[in-house]
Structure 1
Amino acid sequence: AAVAVATEEGIDDEAILRALESFQGTGRRFDFLGEFPLEPVNGKSGTAMLVDDYGHHPTEVDATIKAARAGWPDKNLVMLFQPHRFTRTRDLYDDFANVLTQVDTLLMLEVYPAGEAPIPGADSRSLCRTIRGRGKIDPILVPDPARVAEMLAPVLTGNDLILVQGAGNIGKIARSLAEIKLKPQTPEEEQHD
C-alpha cells in the first residue's frame, strides 16, 4: 500500500526502492530481499527483484499484488505461492483462484499443512488446475521445494518482480533464493552448502 501511495505522489521508483531496502518495519511484509542479475541464472540480460511477503489470505495476497503493480507497473510479476492449511485452501478456494490469476506467472508449492490432514480437492494440484481452466495463466506446480530455483529460472525475463508469498516455510525458501542469487544449484554446489 505504501508503494502505491508513494507512486501516486510522484516519488520515483529508485527512491521507493531505497526506502524499501532500509525499512525495518514488520518482517515478511513486502520484504525486499535484493535485485539480482539474470546472466548467471538463465543467461538473459536484465534483473529480477525478490520480495518476500507473509500474506496468506486472498485479501492479503490481492493487496500485495496491487502494491507490486502500482509500484512497478512495467515489471513481469512472478509469484511463488504456498497455500497455508488445507482448510483455508478449501474454504477460500474460489477467492484464491481469482486472486492468483492476477500475476503474469505463478509457481505454486504444495499446501503447507500446519498439522492438518490433506483434504481432497483442496490441494495445490487442484488449485493449479482450476486456475489453468480460467484461461488467464498456466500455473506451474513445484513438487519439491528444493527445485524452486531450477523451475523459476526459465520463466524470468530480465524485468521481473518475484513475489514469494505465504505463511508456511516459504519464508525460508525466499531467503535461500536470495542467498544463491536465484541461481539454480548444481549437485556439487548443493553438497557444499
Structure 2
Amino acid sequence: MELEAIKRVYFVGIGGIGMSALARYFAKRGCLVCGYDKTRTNLTIDLEREGILISYMDDDSALPVSFHEKHEDTLIVYTPAIPKNSVLMHYFKQRGFALKKRSEVLGIISKGQFCIAVAGTHGKTTTSSIVAHILTHSGFGCTAFLGGIATNYNSNFLLGDNHVVVVEADEYDRSFLTLHPDLAVITSMDADHLDIYGDSSSLQESFHLFASQLKPEGTLFVKAGLPITDGITYSLDKYADVSGLNIRVEQAHFVFDYHSEAQNINGLSLMLPGKHNVENAVAAISIALKLGIAPEKIKEAVATFKGVKRRFEYIVNSPGHIYIDDYAHHPEELRACFDAVRQLYPDKKLTVIFQPHLFTRTRDFADDFAQVLGTADDLILLDIYPARELPLEGIDSQMLLDKINLVSKALYGKAGVLDRIKNKQPELLLTVGAGDIDTIIQPLKTILSHA
C-alpha cells in the first residue's frame, strides 16, 4: 500500500504508545483518523483533544460511517495485543479491509525516506528520543515515532519538514524486519519475549536479520560485546570504536567525554542519570555526527534533553522525599535503574515498588528478578500485570516474592501500597514496571508531597 493513497485510517488499539504516534502522524497528514481502545487514558484523551474520534466499545456499531465499507484509500492498523476474539478485527477481516500491524505501517512510511532505526531489548526509547532531540534542537530536523513521551515536546511524535525519519525498531513479534534503515543502532540483545522466540538464540537470529537489512551504504552502530560482528562498536570502554569516557557526576548531572578516532567532544552534560544512559547518549551522538551535525550543536542539545516520561522520571524531589518512576520491566533494566539510583543517592535507604509484567516473563526470568530485587532495602510487589496473557499455573507474585532473599518484603494490592507508603514515608522511593503501575503515581506523589 502506497503512503500517498491513504486517506482514512482506523486504529484498533489506538491508545498504545506506538500506535498513538502513528495516529498523530496520519492526522497531521490530513487523513481522517479514528480508533478504538479498551480503556480511556490520559493519552487517548490527548488524542481526542487533537481531533481524533475514539470509541471504547469493541463493537462495529460504534464505527464511524466512513469505516462501514472497504475503500481503496482506507487503512486499518492493529496492535498484536488485540485479543483474537475482537469484534472489530473480525468485522474488518470479513469485509476485506487492508489490515496492517504498526510495524508494517512504519515500513510504508519510512520507504523512500532516510531512515534511522534504533533496536534493542532495552534502551531503544531513550536512545531514539535523544537522536530525535539532537536532530530537532540543532535545526537539522526529523520526523520521529517514539516509544515514550519525550519530556521536551510532551509527545511521542515529532513532525519534521525533511525526509529523515527516526523510528524505534521493535523486536517483539519480529516487527523490526519491516524496516530497511540507512543508519541503525542495536543497544542490547538480552533474552526477552521468549513467549514469541522460544529461546535466546532465536532472538539473536532476529537481530542478525535486522542488521542485514541495512541499506548497502548504511552504517550500523552496535553496543560493544554484542554478538554482531559488523558495525561500529560503542560503549564506555576506551577500546570500543566510539566511547564515553571520564564519567563523573556534577550537580546531579552525569558529565562525560565523547571519543572516537575522528572526533572528541569534552564535557558533555546529561540530565539523565546512570551510566547506561551515557552509553545511550554515545550512540545518539554517533548518529548525529554521521549526519554532519556540528559538535557544538550536539553538546548543547544533549545538555537540554529532559528525558522521557517514565524513564527515570523524578515525581517528587524535595528535601524530605525523593520519588523516581521508571518503566523498567526486565531484570537488566531493573539492574541499570537501581545502579543509577545508588550512584546518585548512596546513603539513602531504597524502597522499591515493582509490578511484574507478563506471566511468561516472570516465569522465564524469576531467578534474575529475585536477584536484582533482593538488592533493594525495602520491597513491595504488586500482582503480575497480564497484558495480553492468560494466567499460568504456579506463576504469580507470591512465587516471585518467595524467591527473593530480603527481610523487608511484602505483597500488596494498590490500595495497600498507598497505606504502607503513607505510614512508612520513605525518603527514597522507586516505582518500576510496564503495566498499569502508573495509576498509583499521582496518589503516591500526593502522599509524599504533603508529608
Q: Distance in 2 between matches of 1:30 and 1:84?
A: 18
After superposition, give the CA deviation of every residue in 1:11-36 in whole Å (9 maximum; x if it has no partner). Answer: 144x67xx56x963222110001135
Match of 2:250? 11
Q: Distance in 2 between matches of 1:62 and 1:31?
A: 16
Matched, 1:148 2:417: yes
Cα 1:112–1:26 shift into 2, 3 Å: same
AA paired with 1:109?
L
After superposition, give the CA deviation of every residue in 1:22-68 in whole Å (9 maximum; x if it has no partner). Answer: 963222110001135xxxxxxxxx72211110010000001000000
AA paired with 1:147?
G
Match of 1:139? 409
Query: Percent of aligned positions with the same letter in both sequences?
Result: 38
Q: Distance in 1 between matches of 2:434 and 2:335?
A: 15
Match of 1:79? 352
Match of 1:174? 441
Cα 1:59–1:183 shift into 2, 3 Å: same
- How many matched pairs? 161
Find the partner of 2:316 among 5, 24, 34. 34
Q: Structure 1 residue 179: deviation in Å?
A: 3.4
Q: Secondary structure at the match of 1:87?
A: helix
The structure having more radius of gyration, on CA atoms, is: 2
Q: Name whichever structure is richer in helix by fraction.
A: 1
Q: Which of 1 and 2 has higher RCO (CA within 8 Å, sep 6+)?
A: 1
Q: Distance in 2 between matches of 1:104 and 1:11?
A: 26
Match of 1:188? none
After superposition, give the CA deviation of every residue in 1:81-105 in whole Å (9 maximum; x if it has no partner). Answer: 0000101000000000001001100
Q: Tell me the C-alpha RMSD between the 2 structures.
A: 2.6
Gaps of 5+ in 2: 1-243, 255-270, 273-303
Q: Name whichever structure is richer in strand by fraction.
A: 2
Q: Distance in 2 between matches of 1:125 and 1:147?
A: 15
Q: Secondary structure at the match of 1:9?
A: strand
Gaps of 5+ in 1: 37-45, 185-193
Q: Secondary structure at the match of 1:80?
A: strand
**Is 1:28–1:54's contact at 8 Å kept on the other side of the alignment?**
yes
**Is 1:33–1:50's contact at 8 Å kept on the other side of the alignment?**
yes
**Is 1:149–1:183's contact at 8 Å kept on the other side of the alignment?**
no
Cα 1:23–1:147 shift into 2, 3 Å: farther
**Is 1:54–1:171's contact at 8 Å kept on the other side of the alignment?**
no
Matched, 1:96 2:369: yes
Q: Distance in 2 between matches of 1:74 and 1:120?
A: 40
The runs of at least 4 aligned residues of structure 1 exceeding 4 Å deviation read none
The two structures have a TM-score, normalised by structure 1, of 0.73
Q: Distance in 1 between matches of 2:336 and 2:389?
A: 27
Q: Structure 1 residue 10: deviation in Å?
A: 4.4
Q: Distance in 1 between matches of 2:400 and 2:425?
A: 22
AA paired with 1:165?
V
